[in-house]
Structure 1
Amino acid sequence: MLAPATLQASPLAALGPRLAAQPVARSGAVSHRPADTPVLSRVFVTGAAGFIGGHLCQHLKGAGVWRQVPFVRGAQSAELLRTQGLEAVQGDLRNPVDVVAGLKGCDAVVHLAHGEQGPKVTRCLLQLAAKHGVKRFVYVSSMAVHGPAPGPEAAREASARIGRYAHDYSDSKAEQEEAVQAAYARGDVEVVILRPTIVYGPAAHFVMQVVQEARAGAYTVFDEGRGVCNAVYVDDVCRAIEAALQTTRAVGEAMFITDDHPITWGEFISTFAMMVQPLPRRVQLSSAAAVQYWAVHPPAPPPALWLRAWRKVRHLGGWQPPLAPWPPLGRVQRECFPVAFSNEKAKTLLDWSPQVSFQRGAELTRAWLSAKGHLL
């Protein structure tokens, strides 16, 4: 296990200005917050067909006190949720008519969906939520708002900064956070922003990526696996989201959702790779060599239609695209991450703490992988 501290500067700094932050806002909260909030009960959940969204819907159902409205785009996703005892609303977040139909009677929103028009969709959703009487808006952001290679100041929310990093996902999440905080500053709606870290569990993208590689006979780690992996089990994220719906202390605030004990990427990858039979071999890679390769061979952006199809089916059985000669640059950045995030703010404001250790979370994930036939 890693102590809650930072590693040495990431070798990704060699990428130069492309990864340099251009600070535009502090990640702290607007100062005012309400003294009291009505009890919330009916929750509109976007991204309900995704990894976290699917787990959240089951979590809220199990809690027995929430009436939820899972909002999904595809008929197949809606039918899948129905088979799980959840009545989903089918629609397109880009269509205000669909959104209003789903929001009817809801007093809270959990916004998990992320797509090509994320900032535009989030601004529209905030406006419609305020117009139709939503009291609480929980935006599930990401640690990615601090960029792929932040400095030690990012370990805690008070000193962490949000910037622009020429990185589509990071920049989109940052822009959406700004829209959420702006809505709160206007008094439109109460907001809570959660920044989950590396969320894993059954059907998680991070896990399936490792398993797919291991099933080919070998798995790779960068720089002996020393990078910081801020892993958090999906059920703990769901409990944090539920807490954000219930407490008033977190209104107007943004906070990391992560485990108490960060691990290394070597531990994370090896744990899941070595579940595969026959056992794969471990291959050591250099992040500097990978960065050099991608500098000479920049990846062509995938066609938009292909990318949409990948996003649509990725959560169904954990399918992943074919591997490139070198792991993609995004993976290099992720697995050479230099910062261990603190969860103290979430513990204080949400009255929450992670309950699932990495060892236990890995066991639960292994059971799912085995049941789905992914380990042979």
Structure 2
Amino acid sequence: MTKPIAIIGAASFVGARLVERAELLEDIPIVPIVRSPRSQGRLARFGTRLALGDAGDAASLVPLLRGCGMVVNLTLADDRRILGDVQAMYTACQEAQVPLFVHMSSGEVFGRAEEPELSDDSVADSPHWMEYAHGKRAAEAWLRSQPDGPVKVVILRPGLVWGPGAGWLVDPAKALLDGTAYLFNEGRGICNLIHVDNLMAHLLQLADSPHPSSGVFNISDAETHTWAEFYRAIAHEVRVDPSTVRMLPESAFRESRLHAVRQKLFNVAPARAVKRRMTGDTKGRIKQALRDRLSPPISEPQLIVPEPDVSKQIWWLQGTARKLPSTKFAEHYPGLQLKPFDELMTAAGKWLRFAGFENSDRS
């Protein structure tokens, strides 16, 4: 494709990786679009000229999208904005005469993937507690209801996106190093993974296709891994004994009063906007302050032992029953080539150690 790829949400993890690749290889023209000047910080090191546009305002996007061959939605907005933003982006693609709109949905629309007959074309309608999943489902349903006109629509459903700098790599590494890593049910649940570079490989196949057609595709790494296998691989790279991972029974998770208060505090739009801009340290201090308020004071000195902060999200994800089928995309785009997990984890391990994630006692 000689026409540029517009990246709406260029400051997201995947968006930044796309921008980095384009700058290093100089093989694809891009139009990186961010919502506000504040979002430019993550991309400043690439020296890329960024465009300002609001994903929820079609009028602000149309002049930026004209002349583009593909638009990719990588936005990470308020969950309640997902549907409205998608409608605005689709409208902007129509007005700017862009032939292909790629919407990044999520495998989370299927929850724990407990239904045995799930396919790429399945409609997600099982009960789900995440507002994020409901937003993604609504966006999918609306896009699928649109007539197959001049703007083709491809919906991609990635699993957990990992790779250098990703939370799904960094957070387990941190937990392994500080002794707070845990797995439910011995880590037997399926970890639906896709490396950021393999995700980009799907996007590049779409960009290179002379006649892409509308469709819905689950996308993932080629291999199937359990959570225990994923944690063992990370433990190996950061030089931690994987036997230190705590094995928790399903009954170990209970929604506490603290969790309920935290959900109420952060489940309003202004709070979610602030949370996205917080550093990990700031979030940690707020959580600790809530614990101090809701827990009785310690009357006597006690030995401090690191304890895992069991989250509902991790408990939920580690209960995933099966890997989503993801061969349909390669059937439509046979040029797709995915990098193997072992190679990607070795490279990720080098990045982790470079970033200081390593057990100094065993290095």
TM range (shorter): 0.7 to 0.9
**Residue identity (%):** 23
Instruction: Name 1:233's counterpart in structure 2.
Output: 195
What CA distance in whole angstroms lies between the structure 1 residues aligned with 2:191 and 2:178?
23
Residues 220-245 of structure 1, C-alpha deviation per residue, up to 9 Å, x if partnerless? 11111101112221101101011122
Instruction: Name 1:310's counterpart in structure 2.
Output: 275
- TM-score, normalised to structure 1, is 0.79
Instruction: Name 1:168's counterpart in structure 2.
Output: 131
Q: How does 1:174-323 map to 2 (within 5 A)?
A: 174-183=137-146, 185=147, 187=149, 189-247=151-209, 251-276=213-238, 281-290=244-253, 293-294=254-255, 299-300=260-261, 301=263, 302-303=265-266, 304=268, 305-312=270-277, 321-322=283-284
In the TM superposition, what is the alpha-carbon distance from 1:337 to its structure 2 partner? 0.5
What CA distance in whole angstroms lies between the structure 2 residues aligned with 1:83 and 1:369?
20
What CA distance in whole angstroms lies between the structure 2 residues aligned with 1:87 and 1:197?
30
Q: Which has the higher contact order (CA 8 A, sep 6+)?
A: 1
Instruction: Name 2:101's counterpart in structure 1.
Output: 137
Q: How does 1:71-90 map to 2 (within 5 A)?
A: 71-90=33-52
Name the SS of the counterpart of 1:311 in structure 2: helix
**Structure 1 residues 151 and 141, CA, compared in 2 at 3 Å: closer, same or farther?**
same
Instruction: Name 1:25's counterpart in structure 2.
Output: none
* From 330, 336, 348, the counterpart of 1:347: 330
Larger radius of gyration: 2
Is the helix fraction higher in 1 or 2?
2
Between Structure 1 and Structure 2, how many residues are aligned? Answer: 330
Name the SS of the counterpart of 2:245 in structure 1: strand
What CA distance in whole angstroms lies between the structure 2 residues aligned with 1:344 and 1:198?
17
In the TM superposition, what is the alpha-carbon distance from 1:373 to its structure 2 partner? 2.1
Instruction: Name 1:13's counterpart in structure 2.
Output: none
In the TM superposition, what is the alpha-carbon distance from 1:354 to its structure 2 partner? 4.6
**Structure 1 residues 206 and 197, CA, compared in 2 at 3 Å: closer, same or farther?**
same
Letter matched to residue 145 of structure 2: A
**Structure 1 residues 238 and 166, CA, compared in 2 at 3 Å: closer, same or farther?**
same
**Structure 1 residues 151 and 276, CA, compared in 2 at 3 Å: closer, same or farther?**
same
What CA distance in whole angstroms lies between the structure 2 residues aligned with 1:284 and 1:345?
35
Which residues of structure 2 form unaligned runs of 5+?
A: 292-307
Kindly indicate whether the alpha-carbon contact (under 8 Å) linking 1:294 and 1:329 is maintained by their aligned counterparts in 2: yes
Instruction: Name 1:375's counterpart in structure 2.
Output: 358
**Structure 1 residues 319 and 296, CA, compared in 2 at 3 Å: closer, same or farther?**
closer
Name the SS of the counterpart of 1:239 in structure 2: helix
**Structure 1 residues 320 and 349, CA, compared in 2 at 3 Å: closer, same or farther?**
farther
Which residues of structure 1 form unaligned runs of 5+?
A: 1-38
Instruction: Name 1:98's counterpart in structure 2.
Output: 60
- TM-score, normalised to structure 2, is 0.81
Moved more, 42-51 or 208-217: 208-217
The CA RMSD measured in Å over matched residues stands at 2.7
Letter matched to residue 193 of structure 1: I
**Structure 1 residues 250 and 96, CA, compared in 2 at 3 Å: closer, same or farther?**
closer
What CA distance in whole angstroms lies between the structure 2 residues aligned with 1:312 and 1:346?
34
In the TM superposition, what is the alpha-carbon distance from 1:89 to its structure 2 partner? 1.1
Instruction: Name 1:338's counterpart in structure 2.
Output: 321
Moved more, 302-311 or 168-177: 302-311
Kindly indicate whether the alpha-carbon contact (under 8 Å) linking 1:232 and 1:358 is maintained by their aligned counterparts in 2: no
What CA distance in whole angstroms lies between the structure 1 residues aligned with 2:21 and 2:68?
18
**Structure 1 residues 103 and 242, CA, compared in 2 at 3 Å: closer, same or farther?**
same
Moved more, 238-247 or 88-97: 88-97
Instruction: Name 1:30's counterpart in structure 2.
Output: none
Instruction: Name 1:358's counterpart in structure 2.
Output: 341
Name the SS of the counterpart of 1:374 in structure 2: coil
In the TM superposition, what is the alpha-carbon distance from 1:360 to its structure 2 partner? 1.4
* From 31, 40, 43, the counterpart of 1:69: 31
